[in-house]
Amino acid sequence: MLDALLAEEKIPEDYVGQIQVILCNDCEKRGTASFHWLYHKCPYCERFLESIVQLSALKLDL
């Protein structure tokens, strides 16, 4: 359900391609996720229970 919501949502142009380092509260692994002001999906367990550790200075060219 959240995947569908995120797919439809428009991210402001300034944040497109921005990545964040996250810490999953479920599997306790660190990973990266695309910027979103509310939801971040863990790349390992694919749940939406994370804490933002760092807003990366890196920006992906999309």
For 1-62, list the strands marked E by DSSP.
18-24, 30-34, 50-59
What pLDDT does 56 receive?
A: 64
Report domain extents, the chain.
2-59
Residue among 61, 62, 1, 3 nearest 36 (CA)? 3
For the domain covering 2-59, report its CATH number. 2.20.28
pLDDT the model gives residue 3: 84
pTM: 0.69
Amino acid letter, 56: S
* pLDDT tens digits for range 2-39: 888 878 888 888 888 888 888 898 999 999 888 888 88
